[in-house]
Amino acid sequence: MAIDFDRIARERLPALLRAMPKAELHIHIEGSLEPELIFRLAQRNGVTLPYPSVDALRAAYAFTDLQSFLDIYYAGASVLLKEQDFFDMAWAYFEKAAADNVVHAELFFDPQTHTDRGVPFEVVIRGLHHACQRAHAELGLSASLILCFLRHLSEDAAMATLEQALPYRSHFIGVGLDSSERGHPPEKFARVFARCRELGLRIVAHAGEEGPPAYIVSALDVLKVERIDHGVRCVEDPALVERLAAERMPLTVCPLSNVKLCVFKTMAGHNLPALLAAGLVATVNSDDPAYFGGYLNENFVQAFAALPQLGPREAHTLARNSFEASFVAPSVREGWARQLDDVFAAAAAAT
Ligand code: HPA
Ligand code: ZN
């Protein structure tokens, strides 16, 4: 049955955005660490923070670009030492995600941020994996892990991290590439991603957040990614936009992140409507919600409030895209897509 999107009034959009089932595909779990939890873990672990209070830490969250954020983000992660810490961090995210009607989440984690401080890889992955299992059992939320390599470090370091991860191969579904983008093009990691493909891992990479469209092209051609994280700078290369649309290559767009890190000056200037109008498989995600001012529903609500081109049809498309772009079996994601249709059909009938 076709959904009559025109029957859904604009004032009902925020409630619908919150209620609709959705998947989150771009969340750095270390970026969900709220200042309150940072302080609680610092106390529990005897770590001294360079900020006197929660408020002082939160006041430091004024970023000018990606690097200015990463410096604080890595400092925040320094309180994570024990398996329980990683569990507590992920569990706090899952409770918020479930409240946002997230039915499926694919979580990035940055093992090198922890192993380089002497925290064993197995401590990180055991805590996160346990939280994923409990999210499924207790919240009905399906969750999986994607291991990200830090691109400001060497390819040899990434390869060593992959080796450490292999005993836990069943605990993560894929690999990604994050951290400082400019000056660290995807091709720097050609060999390690080739090895990951041989191992049957799913492949994603951040590209075209601050870096040029050429980084998106090399993520596709060299790393052979199945999704592009961010990718918003693709619009600078019309041939690339055409290719991304033709290949139905998903982009995991993060609206609040882009505004906080000054990729766009304002939400009203974000190119999400243009990406959808070009036929791209865009999705909405929170990136680092504790640092950027909101979790997934807040990203939807603020983007739709600032961008009048986005209405009920686009809300449905973005949620449907999140299921299409996820790494779950077609039978499962089609079930979620049917639930989504039901929510919109009910909203159209109720108006
Ligand atoms: N970009 C790159 N690396 C990151 C980000 C991001 O937005 N968040 C956490 N690591
Ligand atoms: Zn990111």
Q: Is 209 a catalytic residue?
A: yes
Q: Does residue 210's CB lie within 6 angstroms of at least one atom of ligand 1?
A: no
* HSE of 135, CA atoms in CB hemisphere, 13 A: 31
Predicted TM-score (pTM) above 0.95: yes
171 CA to centre of ligand 1 in angstroms: 22
* Residue in 209, 210, 298, 314 annotated catalytic: 209
CA neighbor of 263 nearest in space, from 71, 110, 109, 63: 63
What's the gap in Å between 283 CA and the centre of ligand 1? Answer: 17
Q: Work out how many domains the chain is built from and give that number.
A: 1
DSSP 8-state assignment for residue 144: E
30 Cβ below 6 A of ligand 1 = no
How far apart CA 162 and CA 203 sit, in angstroms, is 13
**Distance of alpha carbon 194 from alpha carbon 158, whole angstroms:** 12
Which CATH number is 270's domain given?
3.20.20.140
Residue range(s) defining the domain that contains residue 174 = 5-350
Question: What digits encode the pLDDT tens for the residues 88-134?
Answer: 999 999 999 999 999 999 999 999 999 999 999 999 999 999 999 99
Mean pLDDT computed over every residue of the chain = 97
Residue 351 has pLDDT above 80, yes or no: no
Q: pLDDT tens digits, residue range 281-326?
A: 999 999 999 999 999 999 999 999 999 999 999 999 999 999 999 9
- In which residue are the tokens 């954020």 written? 69
Pick the atom of ligand 1 nearest to 209's CA. 1
